[in-house]
């Protein structure tokens, strides 16, 4: 997941949640402070290789300015977030080794969808890039 824009990385907050795609039941939710060195989030439980979860990413670049994206993946294990620059963030979704590497990615800003492996979601000022 890559986000680009004039963000102060010391205050960059990312909210990650996982929901069951059919019932909408929240499986987990976390508010993460992203530092220049990046951060890794590990799933709070084991998701089977055939078990799907809908991940929702919401990144607050500054007050009243966030970008949102979604990934539907199976066998979720975690996400590694990196900040290649003060204005960019990348998210690499980790699946169980037995899970298909396919995923379905959606950018709310543009309405663009992709079967992966990556999707870039720009808004003209910032950008999110999600890979799985």
Say if 71 falls within a structural domain. yes
DSSP for 26-79?
EEEEEEEEPPTT-EEEE-SSPPPTT-EEEEEEEEEEETTEEEEEEEEEESEEEE
Containing domain of residue 110, as a range? 9-131
User: Is 9 in contact with 83 (CB distance < 8 Å)?
Assistant: yes
Domain count, the chain: 1
Scan for tokens 């996982």, then name that residue: 18
Say if 4 falls within a structural domain. no
**pLDDT per position as a tens digit, 11-42:** 578 899 999 999 999 999 999 988 878 899 99
Distance CA 58, CA 13 (A): 8
Say if 3 falls within a structural domain. no
Q: How many residues does the chain have?
A: 132
**pLDDT per position as a tens digit, 99-117:** 666 689 998 888 999 988 9
Higher pLDDT, 18 or 59: 18
Distance CA 103, CA 52 (A): 10
Say if 2 falls within a structural domain. no
């Amino acid at each position: 997941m890559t986000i680009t824009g004039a963000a102060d990385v010391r205050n960059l907050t990312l909210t990650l949640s996982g929901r069951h795609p059919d019932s909408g039941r929240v499986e987990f939710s976390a508010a993460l402070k992203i530092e220049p060195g990046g951060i890794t989030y590990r799933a709070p439980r084991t998701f089977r290789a055939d078990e799907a979860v809908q991940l929702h990413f919401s990144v607050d670049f500054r007050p009243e300015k966030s970008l949102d994206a979604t990934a539907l993946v199976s066998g979720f294990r975690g996400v590694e977030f990196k900040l290649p620059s003060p204005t960019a963030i990348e998210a690499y979704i980790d699946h169980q080794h037995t899970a298909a590497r396919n995923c379905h990615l959606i950018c709310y800003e543009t309405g663009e969808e992709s079967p992966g492996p990556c999707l870039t979601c720009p808004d003209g000022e910032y950008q999110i890039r999600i890979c799985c």
